[in-house]
Structure 1
């Protein structure tokens, strides 16, 4: 009887210590995972952002030519820009000061004829580093972008002198010099209705072009369910403007297809998508025009890379 009791007692002791050892190992594994996740999060927080905003300042923003009773298109732009500057401010606010080397800037192509607009856009080229990263300065970024961008759109609408948008030329001539920095996460956000046209850069090679208009889409008879097959068979699209943009992420906002063709929105997105793939853009998303309140989450998730 004593032997049985002794055996049972010994078995309980062994089981107890085995359980403790197992719990310890489990806890240790969890700790290692938490440390790994923490390192990943820390690395992301200290990543250097280089955010560029390319604005199509063509007649697409006209309140007389393209009025929208829900919300004018220029007001949507301003809402998108507010979300962009908020995301940028949030990013730098959560970085260590010694690691700060972040940029945000605005571009137009071609440059507006109004010199005041160009002057304001120069003021929106903001660099945050350890020399100027005060709490006051970082908190002022969003306010600056909101007020100064409002002035730009007001001036453009007042002038009513829209000269088109040469986004293709920007990708050919300026993208690498203006929007790509070494050791940065380079993000380009384009505000456009998806159509590109500029009178001084308007040419075609076979079925590829530097522009996209509703008239061009109609000329290819892309107005039926076989539009994609036609586009692929005839090799219709944008001319490639650059070769290696593998260090660039692009978010296109505000696509506003003509209502005369039910397939127009998909066609526009296909033009842009194929173009970005040919230029080896690292990552891209293309979104149709929507209210800023609905696009806020999309914009911030793209910038935060979630």
Structure 2
């Protein structure tokens, strides 16, 4: 999300071992990287519960945030296609009698466009031995990608970007919406890495419920000393909940603003520390940049079906 605002930051010193860990090398601190994910073995016995949280803020607007090689909303659609294809492959690999798998899409807040909300209901799919057929498997991924594209185009044409209340989603909904017992629960978040919504914007000491490029600048996290400053000042997100030990979280689409060579590192540190503070199931996967979908496809496929 891109927002221009003046930010006041109180300066209290809070040290955190979580922050310290996030500034180390990904493999040394219990985080997974794209390369390490490709080495996983393929297993299929588990039940999957996959949730996809879409950031439909102005980051997807081709005019505000152009990307000549591939527009960012197109990249999102590529990631969604990879996720749905992997889910479809999972269904194909299991005996029908063992099918008990779900995939769904969420927004926060709900879009004002009723048509988007109506389409979103078609992206909440639950499969069991009682409703699964070969035909439903064949068309699942295609329909999932097609409906997702309709949602993105409607959001772009409406131009009513409300932001994405990711912090509020974790505080109020993630446990109820994204965690089912006896399932492998995975939440994919498609976002540029910035976090902002007017309804949940606040500070607690040096921690915030939001992250914008102006905030990173105000915190002076624009040099190679960013990691030391994060540790010394205790910068990071306010913990929104806790006890997410049965939830894996994967961030896709990180797109730091230009002008600060350490912006992406700061975003990664904020997210990694935050997920660790809420006890998200480890090892935490390092947030992935807004790479071309063809490059991330094997990573996503392996992650879901390792």
The TM-score, its normalising length taken from structure 1, stands at 0.85
Local SS of the residue matching 1:252: strand
Instruction: Indicate the RMSD between aligned Cα atoms, in angstroms.
Output: 1.1
Deviation at 1:148, TM superposition (A): 0.4
The equivalent of 2:19 in structure 1 is: none
Q: 1:287 maps to which residue?
A: 288
**2:50: which partner in 1?**
51
Which structure exhibits the higher relative contact order, with contacts defined as CA atoms closer than 8 Å and separated by 6 or more residues?
Answer: 2
Quick check: 2:44–2:305 contact (8 Å CA) kept in 1? no
Does the 8 Å CA contact 1:191/1:252 hold for their aligned counterparts?
yes
Give the CA deviation at 1:70: 0.4
1:243 deviates by 1.0
Alignment of 1:114-125 (within 5 A): 114-125=113-124
Quote the residue 1:180 is aligned against: 179
Partner of 2:159: 160
- Provide the C-alpha distance between the structure 1 equivalents of 2:140 and 2:167, rounded to a whole number of angstroms: 29
Q: Is the 8 A contact 2:164 2:196 kept in 1?
A: yes
CA contact (8 A) 2:244 2:280 kept: yes
SS in 1 for 2:103: strand
2 CA distance for matches of 1:146 and 1:247?
27
1:77 aligned residue: 76
Matched residue, 1:210: 209
Shift of 1:46: 2.2
- Superposed structure 1 runs of 4+ greater than 2 Å apart: none
Q: 1:46–1:100: 8 Å Cα contact kept in structure 2? A: no
SS in 1 for 2:198: coil
1:277: Cα distance to partner?
0.6
1:39-68 per-residue CA deviation (whole Å, 9 max, x = no partner) reads xx99x4221000000000000001111011
1:247 maps onto 2:246 in alignment: yes
Bigger radius of gyration: 1
Whole-Å separation in 1 of the counterparts to 2:199 and 2:275: 23
Q: List runs of 5+ in structure 1 lacking aligned partners.
A: 1-40
Q: What TM-score does the superposition give when structure 2 sets the normalisation length?
A: 0.85
How many residues in Structure 1 have an aligned counterpart in Structure 2?
Answer: 264
Matches within 5 A, 1:221-300: 221-283=220-282, 284-285=284-285, 286-300=287-301
The equivalent residue for 1:98 is 97
CA distance in 1, matches of 2:55, 2:300: 18
Rounded Cα–Cα distance in structure 1 between residues aligned with 2:231 and 2:140: 44
Q: Deviations over 1:143-185 (max 9, x none)?
A: 1111101100110011011010110100010000000000000
For structure 2, the 5+ residue unaligned runs are: 1-40
2 CA distance for matches of 1:230 and 1:58? 29
Secondary structure of the residue that 1:225 maps to in structure 2? coil
Counterparts of 1:159 and 1:45 in 2: how far apart (Å)?
41
Distance in 2 between residues matched to 1:298 and 1:207, nearest whole Å: 35
How far off is 1:71 after superposition? 0.3
More helix by share: 1
Indicate if the aligned counterparts of 1:81 and 1:146 stay in contact, CA closer than 8 A. Answer: yes
